[in-house]
Structure formats: structure tokens, C-alpha cells
Amino acid sequence: MSKTKILVVEDEGLVAAEIKTRLESLGYAVPEIAFTGQQAIDATAKTRPDLVLMDIGLKGDIDGIETAVQIRTLFDVPVVYLTAYSDDETLKRAKMSEPFGFIVKPFEELNLHTTIEIAIYKHKLERKLRESERKYRYLADETADVVAVIVDGKFYWINRASMDMFGYSKEELIGNHIGLIWNEEDILKITRGSKDWLSGRSVPYRYEIKARRKDGRMIDISLLAKEIIFEEMEAIQLVIKDVTERKMAQKAFKESESKYRHLVENIQEGIFVIDADSNITFVNAIMADMLGYSIDEVLGKSLFSYMDEAGAETCRYNMERHKRGIVEHHDIEFHHKDGRNVQAILKIAPIMDQDGHYTGAIASVTDITERKKTEKNIWESEARLRGIIENAQAGYFRIDKNGLYDHVNVAWLRMHGFTAVDEVIGQHYSLTQVDEDRAKAGEIIEKLLQGEPIASLEFTRLCKDGSVAHHLLSASPIKRGGRIEGLEGFIIDTTYMWKEREPQ
């Protein structure tokens, strides 16, 4: 799978290099760095990036905002602004260029990653929406409206679309009474409605009625009637649409809306939408259940009512950042209806209107309460294990893959005659090997680093004072993420047994 390509546009070389390094550490590809607006436009044409990180304060003939506008217009590539500026005029210009996010310098890698991913996701959704709009626009263009002018109840003028809709040519309709197409009841609606609308009375002037085609088939149409002056004559202008195509579009929209609503309702994350005052306007079942309430109980409530005072204050501060277009996520704690706390990750993105004004936000919430409990249990378990190891009568040691000691317990120190761990940590394991056992020790270490454990192996050790002692060794490799990163083991002192074997 190819990496997401990010074009960096930054006129300060050191800053650009640091951004490139951070992006690559997050798994993105940086095909090029541009230092001016024109370089950015040329690089976009050449490399076709998935996203452009643009410095607003770019120096040169065109600044970052103008460059972003051109890139968006020419190449339809999403732009996220990098800025150290926050003055109102700059933000106003930036918002008008319709960016996909803002990142304020200095920034953290997590904020950078989250903003990029949300921007790319939003751009994909926007592109799909435009494609959908183009399909329906094409549909509307191909099914052109019928426009007709009626004088004294007869067709006085009509466009060529009448052939497709009614099966009559222009010549067949002009001069004929509209009763050829509509029945008497519908004709009264058309003529009375247009006159009442012109006089200012509050009556409908758009109708959905039946029309009779030349072949006798009845079709459904939507008709707009308006009284006009046409060639110095009182007339009625009719704009007629085929309802079938419109209903198809409505059906497609409803199916799409239903599909995404179903997705939101059944996704395994909590979803909510808030308005500009932070009142909840939408919530899915997962989110409501996370709080312990029904959906109806949550709708209309303030988001802050489900937090304590400190959490609400922090959330309000973050909301002010979101109003400036910043997309980010936070750890948060909600209050459940039963009084317990729910720990969660809140990923939130602002909703802006066409003028760039903040109108609310949409957020996803991941419940991490159980994960936090598990992490706590693991930490406590590790702490207990460390306590057992540190207080064990057997000597415990840990060696990294370079053969250096990185941990020993008190019993190990005592067996070797050391008094402080600083005397051992960072030293090579050969520190405690007698000369005749060095080769044997090397072979054992090699086997362990290849994943082969050993048990109850008799060994000789070299103590700090130069004396020699004996022990039984059991050791195994240390694996993390499927890789061997070192080895660990225990030693049991057997010196007294060797002394008993010696002849008296």
C-alpha cells in the first residue's frame, strides 16, 4: 500500500526539514519541499500530493493563502495551514480560502497526525459529494424543463423539450388549447393560482399534477405558474418539470442519508453533534448508552452537563480552539447517570458555515474505561512482580541484546560481592565470567538471543573481590512485539555444594 504523500510548503529551511522528519516518522511520504508559492504550485503539478501543509506567512510574490487558493482551484488538493499567526485579518482570509484545517506552531506530532488524517478524510467525502452532485446535475441537464407561455388558454410559445416530455413537437402544441395536456380541474388550478400569486395572496402557485402525453399515457409533473406580460400581452408562464427524475434524486438522497445514519447509529463509537452553544443536537445510541441515558434524554442538553466543573472548564477552553478551525482530540471524563466516571478519548472537529463562522462541532467518543482499568491492573501486576523479583533469594539479572547488564536484584549483587547496582548496570556480562568459561558463556548468550531458553545449567561466576563461586543458571529470551530484545534469568548459589564435594 502506497504511503500518503504530503507536500511541505515552508520558507524556513530548518523548520521545513523538521516538519519533513516528523511527517516521515508518522509514516507519510514527503516527495518535495517548496519554499515559495510558485514552487508549491509547480511541485503540486509534478508530484500530485494527497495533501499540502502550507505556511500562511509564506514570503514571495504570493503568500500561503493565495497559493492555497490556486492549488485548490487547479489541482483539487486539500490544504492544511501551518501558522504562527492568529490575527483576525489573517484568519478571515484563510477561512475564505476554505482550508481543511489549521495547525498552530509549535505543534505536537499527535495534533499534526490527527489534523492530516481528518483533512484527507473530509476531502474524500467532499469529492464524493461533488461527484454525486455532478451526476444529478447531468441528470437535470439531460432532462431539460419544459417552458411554455399560455395566452387565452392556448400554447403561445413552448421550448423543444415538449417533444421529450409530452411527445408533441412545438408546432403541434402552439395554437392548441392546454386542455390537450391537462384536464379542466387542473387548468383552473393553473390559471387561478397564477393570478392569486401575482396579486399577493398567500396561495400555492406550484403544483404536482397529471399531464396527458400524445400517446395517451398520463405522467406526473411539477408545474410552476406565474402571470407575466409577454409581447405586450397578459400571459401565464409555465415551468414544467418531470417529477420522476426529481423523485429518483430524492430517493437516492434518502437512501444515502439512511445508509450513513445507519452507519452512525451502529458504529462502535459514540457520536454526537453540538451547536454553537455546545448543546447536543444529535447523538447515536452508543453515546447515549455510554452516558446511561436514552437518546431523547440527551438531546438538547449541554455537553458540559455530563462533566465535572474542572472537565467542563477544560472542554470550554478546547471549544474556543475548535472555533478557530483547529481539529484535535483529548482525553476526557464523562459522568454516567449511575454516578460512575467514564474515561474516553474525544475526537472533535468544528463545523463551519459557508462564511467560515463556527456553527458547532461533530465528535466521536471512544470509551477507554476498561482499557484504563486493564492498564492499571497490568501496572499493579508488574509492580507486584518487581517486588517479588527484588526480594527473591535467587539472583535475578537482565541483559540487553548487546550483552550489557540493564538490571540486577539485591540477591544477585550479594552473590557477586557488589554493593550497588551502579557498579554493574551498563557493564558487559563478561565482568562476572571466569576466563575458562568466557567461550561457554558466549555460546549460551548466542542461543538465548536466538530464542532458545536454558534451565539448571551449572556455572562458575567471578565475584568482585576476584573469588570464584558456583551457581545454577536458568534463563530465557525477552521478546517484545515478536522481536528478541535481550535475556533474563535467575541464579541459585551452589557454592556450598561444591565445597562439600572437595576432598577433606
Q: Give the range with max mean pLDDT: 25-34, 152-161, 370-379.
A: 25-34
Sheet harboring 102-104: ordered strands across? Answer: 33-34, 6-9, 51-55, 79-83, 102-104
Alpha-carbon distance of 318 to 363, in angstroms, equals: 13
DSSP string covering 470-487, please? EEEEEEEEEEETTEEEEE
6-140 has which fold?
Answer: Rossmann fold (3.40.50)
**pLDDT exceeds 80 at position 190:** no
Q: What is the pLDDT of residue 202?
A: 35
Q: What is the pLDDT of residue 33?
A: 93
Q: What is the pLDDT of residue 197?
A: 43
- The secondary structure of residue 179, as a DSSP letter, is G
Q: Do domains 6-140 and 267-367 have the same CATH topology?
A: no
Kindly state the helix (H) or strand (E) to which residue 358 belongs, with its residue range: strand 358-367
H helices, E strands: number in the chain: 16, 20
C-alpha cell belonging to residue 107: 505543534
Contact yes or no for 273/282 (Cβ under 8 A): yes
**pLDDT exceeds 90 at position 29:** yes
Residue partners of 73: CB distance under 8 A and separation at least 6: none
Region 194-211: what's the mean pLDDT?
59
Strands 79-83 and 102-104: what pairing?
A: parallel
Of residues 31 and 148, which shows the higher confidence score?
Answer: 31
* pLDDT tens digits, 86-132: 667 767 777 777 788 888 878 888 888 998 999 899 989 888 877 87
Domain boundaries, the chain: 6-140, 146-247, 267-367, 376-501
* pLDDT tens digits, 41-59: 999 999 999 999 998 888 8
Alpha-carbon distance of 316 to 337, in angstroms, equals: 22
**pLDDT exceeds 70 at position 4:** yes
DSSP string covering 263-326, please? HHHHSSSEEEEEETT-BEEEE-HHHHHHHTS-HHHHTTSBGGGGS-HHHHHHHHHHHHHHTTT-
* pLDDT tens digits, 219-272: 888 888 888 887 778 888 888 887 866 666 666 666 665 655 655 555 668 888
Distance of CA 37 to the CA centre of its chain: 28
Q: What is the pLDDT of residue 105?
A: 79
Alpha-carbon distance of 339 to 289, in angstroms, equals: 14
Domain 146-247 sits in CATH 3.40.50.10310: no
Alpha-carbon distance of 129 to 123, in angstroms, equals: 10
CA distances from 115 to 99, 220, 321, 441 (A): 12, 48, 13, 52
Contact yes or no for 60/33 (Cβ under 8 A): no
DSSP string covering 80-149, please? EEEES---HHHHHHHHHT--S-EEESS--HHHHHHHHHHHHHHHHHHHHHHHHHHHHHHHHHHSPPEEEE
* pLDDT tens digits, 332-378: 888 889 988 888 888 888 888 877 788 888 888 888 877 778 777 77
**pLDDT exceeds 70 at position 200:** no
Contact yes or no for 306/291 (Cβ under 8 A): yes
Q: How confident is the model at residue 188 (pLDDT cuts 50, 70, 90)?
A: confident
C-alpha cell belonging to residue 443: 555460546
Sheet harboring 270-275: ordered strands across? Answer: 280-283, 270-275, 358-367, 341-352, 328-335
Q: Which amino acid is at 108?
A: E
Cβ-based burial of 113 (10 A; exposed 0-12, middle 13-18, buried ≥19):
middle
Q: How confident is the model at residue 201 (pLDDT cuts 50, 70, 90)?
A: very low
Q: What is the pLDDT of residue 1?
A: 63
* pLDDT tens digits, 271-286: 888 888 889 988 888 8
Nearest to 49 by CA among 8, 97, 103, 98: 8
Q: How confident is the model at residue 25 (pLDDT cuts 50, 70, 90)?
A: very high
CATH architecture observed for domain 376-501? 2-Layer Sandwich (3.30)
* pLDDT tens digits, 162-187: 788 888 888 899 899 988 988 888 87
Nearest to 348 by CA among 326, 316, 367, 333: 326
Is the CA virtual torsion 30, 32, 38, 42 positive or negative? negative
Q: Check: pTM over 0.95? Answer yes or no.
A: no
Alpha-carbon distance of 120 to 141, in angstroms, equals: 31
Alpha-carbon distance of 56 to 80, in angstroms, equals: 9
* pLDDT tens digits, 89-99: 767 777 777 78
Which residues in 429-444 are b (16+ Cβ under 10 Å) and which e? beebbbeebeeebeeb
Residue partners of 112: CB distance under 8 A and separation at least 6: 22, 23, 26, 103
Residue partners of 218: CB distance under 8 A and separation at least 6: 210, 211, 212
Q: What is the pLDDT of residue 223?
A: 84
**pLDDT exceeds 70 at position 5:** yes
Distance of CA 332 to the CA centre of its chain: 18
Least confident segment among 143-157, 283-297, 392-406: 143-157
* pLDDT tens digits, 283-337: 888 888 888 999 899 899 998 888 888 888 888 888 787 677 676 677 888 888 9
* pLDDT tens digits, 460-499: 889 999 999 998 888 899 888 788 889 998 888 888 877 7
Region 69-76: what's the mean pLDDT?
89
267-367 has which fold?
Answer: Beta-Lactamase (3.30.450)
Alpha-carbon distance of 70 to 115, in angstroms, equals: 21
Number of CB atoms found within 10 A of residue 477's CB: 19
Phi-psi region of 401 (alpha: psi -120 to 50; beta: other; left: phi over 0): alpha
